[in-house]
Each structure stands twice: as C-alpha cells, then as structure tokens.
Amino acid sequence: MNQLIQTLKEQLIEALNLEDITPEDIETSAPLFGDGLGLDSIDALEIILILEREYGIKIDNLENAKEVFYSVQTLADFIDKNRK
C-alpha cells in the first residue's frame, strides 16, 4: 500500500503540473481539493484518466466520487479494491 501511495503521489504531481511540490509535501490523508493543492474539477477529470490509464479502472458513473477523491489515501484504497 505504501508503494501505491508513493507512486500515486508522483503520478498526481506529474499529471496535475504541481510545481515545487514533492510527494513528501502531499499529506496522505489531507483533502486533495479546495485550498491546499488548489485542485479543481479539471484536475478531477485528470485523476479519472490516471485511474483508467495506469490502473485499468474504467469509471463511467462514480456514485461516491466525493469520498473516493477526498485524499490520496481514499484514492489508493479505491485503486487497491478495483484495479485489474
């Protein structure tokens, strides 16, 4: 799980153009959206693409999006449960 969290942070930094941010700067359980990293709805679409491309998780209609996209931890839990 720790490896998945580390990799996910690196993927987020690259895909979301997070300047001057290292994986260590992203708190695993802190909210991803809102003020912290300044993520928004376009970033959410990019995260969906990461899930599809990197983990083979196809998302057509995510009922509990808010919970899944809450933090790196919740995303990693979701990936762990659903990846192919």
Partner 1 sequence: MERESKNPIACYIIGDAMITALGETTSENLRAIKEYQSGIQLDGSGDFLSRPIQVARIKQTVYDSFARYDSLEFTKAETLIVSVIEDLILQYQVDLQSFDTGLILATTKGNIDQLTLSDAIPTQTWLPALGLKIEQYFKTTNRIKIISNACISGVSALIVGKRLIQNSTYKQVVVVGCDVLSPFIASGFSSFRSISPTQCKPYDESRNGLNLGEACGALLLSATPSADAIILSGGAITNDANHISGPSRTGYELHLAMDKAMNEANILAKDVSFLDLHGTATVFNDEMESKAVSLSELAEVPVQSLKPYFGHTLGASGIIETIISAHELKDGICWATLGFEKTGTSVPLRVSNLHQPLDMMHCVKTASGFGGCNAAIVLSLPEFQKPSESSEPITVSRLRSVLVEDSKIFVDSGLVFESAEKDFPTFIRQANKNFGFVNQKFYKMDDLCKLGYIASSYLLEGIDFDSEKTGIILSNKSSSLDTDHKHAKLLFKEGESGVSPTVFVYTLANVVLGELCIRHKIKGENTFFITNSYEEADLIDYSTSVMRSDNLDYCIMGWCELFEDNYKAEFKLLKKI
| Whether the Cβ atoms of residue 73 and residue 28 lie closer than 8 Å to each other | yes
Binding test (CB under 8 A) with partner 1, winner from 8, 12, 16, 72:
16
84 binds partner 1 (CB under 8 A): no
84: helix, strand or coil: coil
47 binds partner 1 (CB under 8 A): no
39 phi/psi in degrees, rounded to 5? -75, 150
- Pairs from 39-42 (Cβ < 8 Å, separation ≥ 24): none
45 binds partner 1 (CB under 8 A): yes
46 binds partner 1 (CB under 8 A): yes
| Residue 18 vs 57, nearer CB to partner 1 | 18
3 binds partner 1 (CB under 8 A): no
